[in-house]
Chain A
Amino acid sequence: MNPIIEKQFAVERGHAYTRILLVVALVAIIAAASLPLWAESSWMHEFVEIACHFIFALMWNLLAGYGGMVSIGQQAFFGLGAYTMLVLGNFWGVNPFVAIAIGGVVAGLVAIPVSRIAFRLQGGYFAIGTWVIAEVFRLSFANLSAVGGGAGTTLTALRGIPKASRESWTYWIALLCVVASISLVYLFMRSKRGLALLAIRDNPVAAESQGIDVGSMKLAVYTVAAFGAGLAGALYFVGNLRISPDAAFSVNWTAFAIFMVVIGGMGRIEGPLVGTLVFWLLSKFFSDFGSWYLMGLGLLAILTTIYFKQGLWGYVQQRWGWSLFPTQRRVVLTTERSA
């Protein structure tokens, strides 16, 4: 009679170096927080701008890469967050820095009724349907004369604050928003719900049969992504002070996010991070070329999608198994003994 082999296993997620990375990250954040003390103000402005792009891309990745919902309409929530912040600051006297968070919350709340319409469509139809919704938002705000209509208006709520401290505060809030959004997505993906989300992306029918409530999971992801997009929008226009419907609801926000996520690698938190870095470098050196630069970005996205599907970080992960934010679970055999 053959002996029965009993295998014992454990589910592993982090590595030994995950803790070291955490310490390195904390040191980096503290170092970054000291930047207003020694750096030029143009650096801070640049950071705020790129931080907004990053948060927006991170949330697009959550929606498309993890949730499987490819939207071309996330600018709807970006603009909504921005206008919420502006109205609160200009008309109701709320501190704009506080209003940033409220902008995100309002965008997240509005996403719930919006999802009732958007979720009627799937796949490619969902993508263009969300774009129509974003256009409705843009045209609605363009018809609102209280916020300057199509020409837009200026954030006057920050008038009393001196330039230097305004810039420092905007920078710190941006840094806080970046750290908070990464933590939010990371913890979400590590939780039970994150696992459910991955199951839905890979096979919604099988996931449903295992007892996952697909509908409410998708709604949760859509809401969180809208919250993040709204946060990014409100933050961007606190840094920029001038808002118009065409700028706030521009499809370019989503276009750049798609570029960043595809280049960096979809469905992993490192993807948008690496993608944003690449985007920042490219725009620094080539954005003066105007339409040639944009053509290049478009071509790069096409070529990456066809020939280099996994993106930069996907390649790194396959080649060396590196992971800065380990959300994957691996089964590891611990002992093997015969009973």
Chain B
Amino acid sequence: MFELLLQGVLLGGLYTLFALGLSLMFGVMRLTNTAHGDFIILGAFGALALNGWGLNPWVADVVVLPIAALLGYAIQRYVLNQTLGKDPVPSLVVTFGLSIVIQNALLETFSADPRSIESNGLNIQSLVLSDSLAVGVLPALILFIALIATVGLQWLFANTRLGRAFRAVSDDPEIAELMGLRSKKVYALATALAFMLIAMAGVLQGLRTTVAPSDGPMLLLFAFEAVIMGGMGSFWGTLAGSMLLGVTQQVGFRLDPGWGVWAGHLMFLFVLLVKPQGLFPKTR
């Protein structure tokens, strides 16, 4: 029982990293990025490609992060900013189009085979906690990174100039502009930050299991469920939602291998029905 819970929490760590980027983009510019999962996969394949060009795998995993940030900045600045507004249709159609473009570009370049990122054996090492209990080093590391990222984002939003700018444009972009902020630039910075998280999530997913070009939509749904279940109030909510999703899926998988993802979806719908504001509904 405890072991099941622990497995769920470790899986939740990975989902936290999937969800933080989505939560950030939701929070700052009310943008629903339907290509979120595909960008995660793109991050993993980016690291794989760098590795393929002769870069040491660990170096490749790190170098992909600033590249992702630049890509995020450019996409927000030159594409997504033009779709923002009261009407949700343009941003949804554009990100959905991006999703299809990325999936098929990856399919064309890397084929449909799932592959994983070389971790020099890290993925099979384990930490022995007691006679009967051991956890993998990599999942534990991912959980640790997820906690650091959550704390870091929460701190950034509460205590820095950039965080204040994010909150200001989120509350009212027009007033923020009057106060001297350029909201479109702030949006681009938020997306750059989100894309670093996205690429990190992709790399860790590639290290832990496998990635394939068609995996994106499923990861988007996991990230979305975690964000909504947690509530839009804070990144702590996103963390809690991810843990709930991880544990539910793990319980489902234990009952029947075909039920894990399904159980996670049902838990999401259940939370939506009984607590539509999520677990932590306070405003950021």
Residues on A close to B: CB < 8 A?
A: 64, 70, 72, 116-117, 120-121, 123-125, 127-129, 131-133, 135-136, 139-140, 142-143, 150, 251, 255, 258, 262, 266, 291-292, 294-295, 297-299, 301-302, 305-306, 309
Contact = CB atoms under 8 A, between A and B. Distances in A.
A303 to B, nearest CB: 9
A299 B96 CA distance: 10
Interface string B21-41: 000001000111010000000
Given A128-B221, A135-B265, A139-B265, A306 B259 contact: no
Nearest to A133: B269
Nearest to B222: A132
B175 interface: no
Given A129-B224, A291-B108, A302-B94, 15 more contacts: A70-B92, A72-B34, A116-B273, A117-B269, A124-B26, A124-B32, A124-B88, A124-B92, A125-B224, A128-B224, A129-B272, A136-B262, A295-B105, A298-B100, A305-B97
B32 A132 contact: no
Given A132-B224, A132-B269, A305-B93, A139 B107 contact: no
A234 B96 CA distance: 26
B100 A294 contact: yes
Contacts of B90: 305-306, 309
Most buried by A among B94, B96, B261: B96
A153 B96 CA distance: 31
B262 A295 contact: no
B101 interface: yes
Nearest to B78: A306
Given A292-B104, A301-B97, A125 B228 contact: yes
A204 to B, nearest CB: 11
Nearest to A297: B100
Given A127-B34, A251-B217, A136 B97 contact: no
**Chain A interface main SS type:** helix
A267 B225 CA distance: 30
B97 A120 contact: no
Contact of A136 (B83, B217, B266): B266
Contacts of A135: 221, 261, 265
Interface of B: 26, 30-32, 34, 79, 82-83, 88-94, 96-101, 103-105, 107-108, 217, 220-221, 224-225, 228, 258-259, 261-262, 265-266, 268-269, 272-273, 276
Contacts of B221: 128, 131-132, 135
Nearest to B87: A68
A133 B224 CA distance: 13
Given A72-B34, A139-B262, A117 B273 contact: yes
Contacts of A299: 97, 101
A142 B257 CA distance: 13
A32 to B, nearest CB: 32
SS class of chain B's interface: helix, strand, loop or mixed?
helix
A298 B98 contact: yes
29 contacts: A72-B92, A117-B272, A121-B228, A121-B272, A124-B32, A124-B34, A124-B91, A127-B32, A129-B224, A132-B221, A132-B224, A132-B265, A133-B269, A136-B262, A139-B261, A140-B262, A142-B258, A255-B96, A262-B93, A295-B108, A298-B97, A301-B93, A301-B97, A302-B94, A302-B98, A305-B89, A305-B93, A306-B82, A306-B90
Contacts of B276: 120
A197 to B, nearest CB: 16
B258 to A, nearest CB: 6
Contacts of B34: 72, 124, 127-128
A207 B189 CA distance: 38
A117 B258 CA distance: 24
Of B82, B88, B103, most buried by chain A (CB within 10 Å of CB) is B88
Nearest to A120: B276
Given A291-B104, A302-B97, A306-B82, A123 B88 contact: yes
A132 B227 CA distance: 13
A266 to B, nearest CB: 7
Given A298-B98, A298-B100, A298-B101, A136 B32 contact: no
A128 B105 CA distance: 23
Contacts of B265: 132, 135-136, 139
B88 A305 contact: no
B91 to A, nearest CB: 7
B104 A298 contact: yes
A132 B268 contact: yes
A136 B262 CA distance: 6
